[in-house]
Amino acid sequence: MRRPAFYSRSPRTLPPAAEQAADEADAPASPDAAASAAPNTSTRTGWQPGRRSFALLIVLSAALVTGAALWAPRPGSKVLTQKDIDAAVLRTLQTNTLPSPAAKAADIIRPSVVRVVSYGEEKNTPEARLQKRGRNLAKGKPPDAASPPGEVERGVGTGVVIVDKGVILTNLHVIAGADKIKVTFFDGLEAVATITGVQPENDLAVLQAQKVPDDLIPATMRSTADLRPGDQVAAVGFPFGIGPSVSAGVVSGLNRSFRSPEGKQELGNLIQFDAAANPGNSGGPLINMDGEVLGIVTAILNPTQQRTFIGIGFAVPIENAASAAGSPPF
């Protein structure tokens, strides 16, 4: 294939000597003079069209040969097939322990979960006495050890941050009658909180923390419209003040009703679940496996007076909880 000519970019004006040579070339000359005037190509050092393109072609050819040598399979090496890749992935899954769905969900919601403590005159209700015994046992104290003087913890529960400015959802019975409320955030920051709203018919209260962490992460709320019995859920909170603790289970039923042991209040349209919950879980989030809040844990059913979990818990749907905080429903 004929190679196109390269053209120099230098001016086409010839120097005087070159003009004289050109004039002489135009004049008639004898064959001997023409032979003697022929240039010696072996000693010519000027530009020769095609030399640069030829050099570039050599470099490109060398690069292609080198690349082919690098990527070509070595003698005796095995070419990977899709079957080999699938086997390697399966071997990795078998030899490495992956986090459970509940563990991943808990990691998502944990920065939004807070410990809620109400202070004031110590209550003498069965639930208050049970919480006190649980707190004492968790601290290595005798079950009936007296509370220290000063601020008396009258109730411990859980809350969940729904707005990054420090708006927290919890249960009304956790903070009812308290002289002072404190919340402890995920990073350990402790702050005083005030009640900004209540919804007694759903046992809900809204708190506003006076101080919040700089990087506070609010929870994501999820509609319960497509929730079904058998869906996996987890309860995150501070049972007996210990936590944050995580328990996993499934939705046992929907649209349930619950009457308090004293018979003073009946709650309706509740989510029934079997993830373990105990005093202190109240006000905490019930979440799906994406870490989204489906409801607020509010009660457990126990036909005895022990107030401990035997397999049936209840949560207020997040639609009701969001309306308590003034957020629009889904």
Per-residue pLDDT tens over the stretch 129-162: 666 666 666 566 676 666 666 567 788 999 999 9
58 confidence band (pLDDT: 50, 70, 90)? confident
Give mean pLDDT, residues 47-51: 55
Instruction: Return the closest-CA partner of residue 250 out of 230, 235, 269.
Output: 230
What is the pLDDT confidence band of residue 2, given thresholds at 50, 70 and 90?
Answer: very low
pLDDT tens, 292-318? 999 999 999 988 777 788 999 999 999
232-324: CATH superfamily:
Trypsin-like serine proteases (2.40.10.10)
pLDDT band, residue 43 (cuts 50/70/90): very low
φ/ψ of 259, rounded to 5, equals -110, 130
Is the pLDDT at 18 greater than 50? The verdict is: no
Residue 130 pLDDT: 67
Domain span(s) for CATH 2.40.10.10 in the chain: 106-209, 232-324
Residue with tokens 């029934």: 272
* pLDDT of amino acid 35: 42
For domain 106-209, give the fold.
Thrombin, subunit H (2.40.10)
Give 164-219 pLDDT, tens digit per residue: 999 999 999 999 989 999 999 999 999 999 999 999 999 999 999 999 999 999 99
pTM check: above 0.85: no
Mean pLDDT of 107-132: 82
Res. 26: pLDDT tops 80: no
pLDDT above 60: residue 17: no
Could you give the residue numbers annotated as active site?
Answer: 173, 203, 282
Buried b (16+ CB within 10 A) or exposed e, 103-125: eebbebbbbbbbbbbbbbeebee
